[in-house]
Structure 1
Amino acid sequence: MKPGRTPPARGPRAAPPAGSVRIIGGRWRNTRLAVPDRPGLRPSSDRVRETLFNWLMPKLAGARVLDAFAGSGALGLEAISRGAAQAVLIERDAGLADALRQAVERLGAASQVRVEGADALAWLANAPGETFDIVFLDPPFADGLWDAALRALPRHLSDDAWVYVESPREQALAVPPDWRSHREDQTRDVRCALYRVPGGQGAATLRGDSHRPDSE
């Protein structure tokens, strides 16, 4: 700035843009979902979701999906984008639940996706006996809800169900003893695990994976 000139007046600083996460694959590929600023809201990373949906790809077509701690909706809506038939998204935060409903409306997915504004543990304990083929459990890390969610979940699982659990890397998970670990992965901070429930032919449907722990 030249000497003697007055600096231009500055108006109010613009608010930073809202966070977002993108749907990676399927019919809504690269669609952005808003991520409101909420304590504990931590959408699964692109890398984690890409790995997960590669694992689940042969199972997604026509599946009924439960996203029990939906947050941004990235897991449940990604599943629908890639061919799942129906999804229930549970979210206790009223603002997040409203954002999910808006996203569902914008995507034209109201006939496939239902948003429940409820506490996930209460819903699992009290909801009618809906069953699901794929369940995503990715609760807020600070709340320590894994054990309670895993105990409440079995009544909502189909005979051919798969359960994905995301947790801190060092978190011990008390999964039912008859569940079988199918695949696991880790990032620096996060452990990702996909389990097969007993009954059905779930392992056979996830073909093309020569390294799965539950190969027989």
Structure 2
Amino acid sequence: MRIVAGKFRGKSLHSPETDEIRPTSDRVRENLFNILANHFGPTFHEVRVLDLFAGTGALGLEALSRGAEHATFVDTGVEARALMRENIQDFGVAGQARMLRRDATDLGQVQRIPPCNLVFLDPPYSQGLGEKALAAALAGGWIADDAIIVWEEAKSAEVTIPEGLTELDQRNYGDTKILICRRG
């Protein structure tokens, strides 16, 4: 796994050794960020990222590579947090990153960071955790008005988009579907 574009283009990410973490492939990340560039421009200027179920942190790090100003990574997994910590350190972005050991479905109120305008959501597939995490993030003030939400889920899974979000696009990649929504 490598960063696809930006100042860290080609830089390798530490990868999981178990199947508990399912990183978004380089190809899917490249396609996804091409779509996101239509919303944020090529430099991702003033983008604040919330990466829920962050795993390796690949999505948030890709956004930082492309110019995002800050990324908050949320995951409870021991291996995930170790991988994120290594990746954040290797990329030298500790000043732009915040890592939280917190259940994404029970975030509580946002503290010390402004609401995020780009949200990545990559929960374990087909468990209904995406809906719960989005509801928690919305209720806690983590998501800015007009934010873009990128939700990765199993292609076969039924999802319910929470009230207040509008689906903008949906793409399928193998057994994965990517939903892109906007708040407001």
TM-score (ref. length: structure 1): 0.76
Rounded to whole Å, the distance in 2 between the matches of 1:182 and 1:47 is: 21
Rounded to whole Å, the distance in 2 between the matches of 1:35 and 1:63 is: 25
> Is 2:171 the counterpart of 1:176?
no
What code does the residue aligned with 1:159 have? D
Q: Which has the larger radius of gyration?
A: 1
What whole-Å deviation, never above 9, does each CA across 1:55-101 have from its counterpart, x for those lacking one?
Answer: 11141222100001110111000000011000001121123212211
Partner of 1:204: none
5 Å-filtered alignment, 1:72-111, equals 72-111=56-95
Q: 1:49 aligns with which of 1, 16, 29?
A: 29
* SS in structure 2 at match of 1:61: coil
What code does the residue aligned with 2:159 have? L
Partner of 1:192: 178
What whole-Å deviation, never above 9, does each CA across 1:177-212 have from its counterpart, x for those lacking one?
Answer: 4422212110220110110111xxxxxxxxxxxxxx
Partner of 2:133: 149
Partner of 1:61: 45
Partner of 2:108: 125
Percent identity reads 36
What code does the residue aligned with 2:146 have? D
> Is 2:143 the counterpart of 1:163?
no
Q: In 2, are the aligned partners of 1:150 and 1:174 still within 8 Å (CA)?
A: no
Cα deviation, residue 129, structure 1: 7.5
What code does the residue aligned with 1:42 have? R
* SS in structure 2 at match of 1:166: strand
Rounded to whole Å, the distance in 1 between the matches of 2:104 and 2:163 is: 23
* SS in structure 1 at match of 2:80: helix
Q: Which runs of 4+ in 1 moved over 4 A?
A: none
> Is 2:3 the counterpart of 1:23?
yes
The structure, 1 or 2, with the larger RCO (C-alpha pairs under 8 Å, 6+ apart) is: 2
TM-score (ref. length: structure 2): 0.88
How many pairs does the alignment contain? 177
Rounded to whole Å, the distance in 1 between the matches of 2:110 and 2:78 is: 19
Q: In 1, are the aligned partners of 2:126 and 2:157 still within 8 Å (CA)?
A: no
